[in-house]
Amino acid sequence: MEKASASAWRKFNARYNLVGNVCKNCNTNYFPPRIVCKNCGRNTKMEEMQFSGNGKIFSFTKIHVPAEAFKESAPYVVGVIKLDEGPMVEGHIVESGKEVAIGVTVKQVFRKMYTDGEEGLINYHFKFEIV
């Protein structure tokens, strides 16, 4: 499990706010953010970009045998979401009684991810909810 660290703080914006970046040279969007554009190879015109959090389920699966940290929430659904702005993002899909299916529209929500250690530190992360 990841402890509070410089690395965790660097990922803060991506994890909590769905902030990636865009290459202003070729208009390719990235999440998580990249240093060098995979499309045109430039690194001089990468600008921070706030993603809307809206997208569609590209694929999904239900986890019945979870990692230790997620055992409280099993079974749960994880999926790959194709954001409206292009990038694919992995995330938990909140089950709300609506059918989880490929192509269904989702939006980003902010939810508890897991409770860490004996101190019971609650970790949050973005998840996706069916609209």
Point out which residues bind Zn ion (CB under 5 A).
Answer: 23, 25-26, 28, 37, 39-40
C-beta of 10: minimal distance to Zn ion in Å?
Answer: 22
Query: What whole-number distance in Å separates Cα of residue 128 and Cα of residue 131?
Result: 9
CA neighbor of 58 nearest in space, from 76, 78, 81: 81
Query: What whole-number distance in Å separates Cα of residue 45 and Cα of residue 58?
Result: 29
C-beta of 11: minimal distance to Zn ion in Å?
Answer: 23
Smaller CB separation from Zn ion, 35 or 101: 35
Smaller CB separation from Zn ion, 47 or 68: 47
C-beta of 20: minimal distance to Zn ion in Å?
Answer: 13
Smaller CB separation from Zn ion, 40 or 67: 40
Between strands 46-50 and 88-94, the pairing is: unpaired
Token couple for 107: 């939006």
Smaller CB separation from Zn ion, 66 or 86: 86
C-beta of 96: minimal distance to Zn ion in Å?
Answer: 37
CA neighbor of 25 nearest in space, from 1, 41, 8: 41
